[in-house]
Amino acid sequence: MADEENLLKKRFLELADRSFAKNIYTFTEFLSPAEQNLLRFTVKGVPYHFEGGFENAEKALCVFGSEELCGYIESAPITFIKIEPCSMKFSGELAHRDFLGSIMSLGIRRSTLGDIIVKNNIAFAPCLDNIADYICENLVEIKHSNVRCSKIDFIPDDMIPQPIENEFVVASERLDSVISAIYKLSRSESKGLCEHEKVFVGGIPVLNASYAPKDGDIITVRGHGKIVYCGIKLETKKGRLRCKAKIYK
């Protein structure tokens, strides 16, 4: 794991240095939240931002460079692919894992794909420009259903998952307390999720159930969903904390 991390750091620094030295944009492949955090700690002094294809995408590529540094604007090399059954009437139910598994079976690296959105048996898959044609030409079947692929300019707004804002009351600002309140679990169940490495903050597993989440932390609970923690709103008269979060189903 340490070797992989060091290689990734080296790659980040190479791309950042090339962008700065040549006044050009350079790009990573799609990075997990943990890899994005690693980049933040590794690269200093070079402008960059993350793009995943839509707001709040977990997997995103890093764009090194800026208009000020490079003297021009360049879009991230992301293409959107729409994947839909040729016949909705005769198609079985298709889940996220079905779409992802079929794409991966083409020999595609996971890092060349962003977050896949699935709704009503239709999937929208952000991917790197250089593999879009290959996917469109070769992905013809998913779970015994014939499908067709097409490149589109953007993902429709009504297909992009929107969070539900929720307020909840906890005795203390602990990770297990927040998880318990949002997902209606016992404290022991929430603590167990942490201990079994099923709770991630910013893509990094957090085993310490007493960790105090910070405003803006992205908390992913495997098997339950994703939360954007928004901090404490107020303290009640009884000394309990009313907190706020955005919940993705």
Taking only the tens place, the pLDDT of each residue in 182-208 is 999 998 999 999 999 999 998 888 999
**86 & 48 share domain:** no
User: 248: pLDDT confidence band, cut at 50, 70 and 90?
Assistant: confident
pTM for this one? 0.82
The mean pLDDT value of the chain amounts to 93
Tokens of 208: 């310490």
Arithmetic mean of pLDDT, 124-150: 95
User: 1: pLDDT confidence band, cut at 50, 70 and 90?
Assistant: low
User: 111: pLDDT confidence band, cut at 50, 70 and 90?
Assistant: very high
Q: Are 48 and 132 in contact (CB under 8 A)?
A: no
Among the residue ranges 48-52, 75-79, 130-134, 217-221, the one predicted with the least confidence is 217-221
**100 & 151 share domain:** yes
Give start and end residues of each alpha helix (H) in the chain: 2-22, 33-42, 67-70, 96-104, 129-138, 175-183, 187-195
**85 & 155 share domain:** yes
Question: For residue 231, is pLDDT > 70?
Answer: yes
User: 82: pLDDT confidence band, cut at 50, 70 and 90?
Assistant: very high
**185 & 220 share domain:** yes
**66 & 31 share domain:** yes
**84 & 152 share domain:** yes
Q: Which amino acid is at 224?
A: H
- Determine the Cα–Cα distance for residues 28 and 37; give it in Å rounded to an integer: 14
- Determine the Cα–Cα distance for residues 153 and 174; give it in Å rounded to an integer: 42
Q: What is the pLDDT of residue 89?
A: 76
Tokens of 137: 């030409």
Looking at 70, 98, 115, the residue that finishes a domain is 70
- Determine the Cα–Cα distance for residues 206 and 189; give it in Å rounded to an integer: 15
CA nearest to 30, candidates 100, 104, 117, 126: 126
**134 & 171 share domain:** no
Tokens of 47: 């402008």
- 152 forms beta bridges with 80
Q: What is the pLDDT of residue 87?
A: 86
User: Structural domain of residue 238, as residue ranges?
Assistant: 164-248
- Determine the Cα–Cα distance for residues 34 and 218; give it in Å rounded to an integer: 11
CA nearest to 201, candidates 175, 171, 177: 175
- Residue 202 sits in a domain whose CATH number is 3.10.290.10
- Residue 114 sits in a domain whose CATH number is 3.30.70.330
Tokens of 19: 């962008």
Query: In the chain, how many domains are there?
Result: 3
Tokens of 99: 């779409």
Which of residues 236 and 62 earns the better pLDDT score?
62
Looking at 159, 193, 209, the residue that finishes a domain is 159
Looking at 138, 159, 180, the residue that finishes a domain is 159
Which of residues 223 and 135 earns the better pLDDT score?
135
Please give the helix or strand (H or E) that residue 226 lies within, else none.
strand 225-235
